[in-house]
């Protein structure tokens, strides 16, 4: 039993007025079980409402007060350049949502898997997990840096006309490097889209929410597809849309499915619009994907023949004909810079 565990036992055995609540004990046990850093005492909620919401979580913009961080977590500062002399820094706090008729134990197990997986990762194009905090729902909430420019989709809506061809491929190189790293760690993103790529104040892109495949069963139910599908559908690989009579996918997740999604990211970065932007209904987009109808090509001065050919190779119906991670990286790094 380590010091953190002993401290929890001491608190539970202390005088009645000093004992933690059962909710706090549950939180601390969960934190101890996944090995994350508890930053509850260092996080300040900026407002009661969440900043945005996704299929599985609400995201809150909060403030991390580095000076208040426990001295027992110096590794956090050294790994993520968080200094105890800093007054504060904005962070994103991800509150896990239960949804309707939840299987609580399954959700807890998925959260454990995501935290343990996320803590193992360290790459400049992967959003880091700083720690967890209490006070955002009944489960530990996940803390990561706040990205000044937000999602890739929002960034392109605001900045696309100002981005040079080289700057666009700098973004694609960031995404490709992050994706290659995930796959080298035997992790499949499973939900790569313009809303799961974040842009920092320097314009560098990092992958976020990459653990969907770790959060879902090996056989994904149709009911577990993202509940905010209009953000994800335009990037979705066709193999995700093949279901058996019970509504489960017939194919397991594959790195090649992420490659298909990368093709959508590449088109979006070059054109400045999400794939199938000309189709309003989610169901119509899904129908196009399942029938093999790919997004329309923009004019040649927007997407060159070479770039369009590569995007199409990412969208091959046969997964084995899609490029490898190395081929993607070679292509985007070989473009003019």
Indicate which residues carry an active-site annotation.
Answer: 191
- Contacts of 133 by beta carbon, 8 Å cutoff, 6+ apart: 38, 39, 40, 43, 62, 93, 140, 141, 143
Residues in the chain: 337
Phi, psi for residue 247 in degrees, rounded to 5: 85, 15
Neighbouring C-alpha atoms within 13 Å toward the C-beta of 305: 0
Q: Which residues of 119-129 are buried (b: 16+ CB within 10 A; e: fewer)?
A: eebebebbbbb
Closest C-alpha among 214, 215, 223, 212 to residue 246: 223
Cα atoms found within 13 Å of the Cα of residue 42, Cβ hemisphere only: 27
Residue with tokens 């997740």: 253
Closest CA to 151 of 207, 215, 235: 207
Q: Are strands 197-199 and 141-145 parallel, antiparallel or unpaired?
A: unpaired
Residue 191 and residue 94 in contact, taking contact as beta carbons nearer than 8 Å:
no
């Amino acid at each position: 039993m380590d010091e953190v565990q002993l401290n929890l036992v001491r608190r539970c055995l202390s005088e009645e007025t000093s004992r933690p609540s059962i909710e706090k004990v549950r939180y601390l046990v969960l934190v101890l079980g996944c090995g994350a850093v508890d930053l509850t005492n260092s996080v300040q909620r900026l407002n009661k409402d969440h900043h945005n919401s996704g299929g599985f979580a609400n995201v809150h913009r909060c403030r991390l007060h580095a000076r208040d961080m426990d001295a027992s977590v110096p590794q956090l500062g050294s790994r993520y350049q968080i200094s105890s002399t800093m007054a504060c820094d904005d962070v994103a706090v991800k509150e896990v949502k239960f949804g309707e008729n939840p299987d609580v134990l399954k959700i807890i197990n998925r959260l454990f898997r995501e935290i343990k997986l996320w803590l193992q990762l360290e790459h400049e194009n992967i959003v880091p997990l700083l720690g967890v905090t209490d006070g955002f729902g009944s489960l530990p909430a996940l803390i990561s840096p706040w990205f000044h420019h937000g999602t890739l989709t929002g960034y392109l809506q605001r900045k696309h006309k100002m981005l040079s061809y080289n700057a666009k491929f700098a973004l694609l190189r960031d995404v490709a490097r992050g994706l290659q790293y995930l796959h080298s760690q035997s992790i499949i993103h499973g939900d790569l889209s313009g809303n799961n790529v974040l842009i920092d104040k320097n314009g560098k892109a990092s992958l976020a929410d990459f653990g969907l495949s770790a959060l879902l069963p090996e056989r994904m139910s149709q009911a577990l597809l993202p509940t905010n599908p209009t953000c994800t559908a335009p990037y979705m690989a066709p193999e995700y849309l093949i279901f058996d009579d019970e509504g489960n996918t017939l194919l397991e997740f594959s790195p090649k499915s992420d490659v298909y999604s990368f093709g959508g990211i590449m088109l979006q970065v070059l054109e400045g619009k999400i794939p199938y932007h000309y189709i309003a209904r989610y169901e119509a987009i899904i129908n196009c994907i399942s029938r093999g109808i790919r997004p329309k090509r923009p004019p040649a001065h927007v997407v060159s023949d070479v770039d369009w050919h590569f995007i199409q190779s990412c969208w091959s119906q046969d997964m084995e004909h899609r490029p490898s991670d190395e081929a993607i990286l070679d292509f985007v790094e070989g473009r003019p810079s």
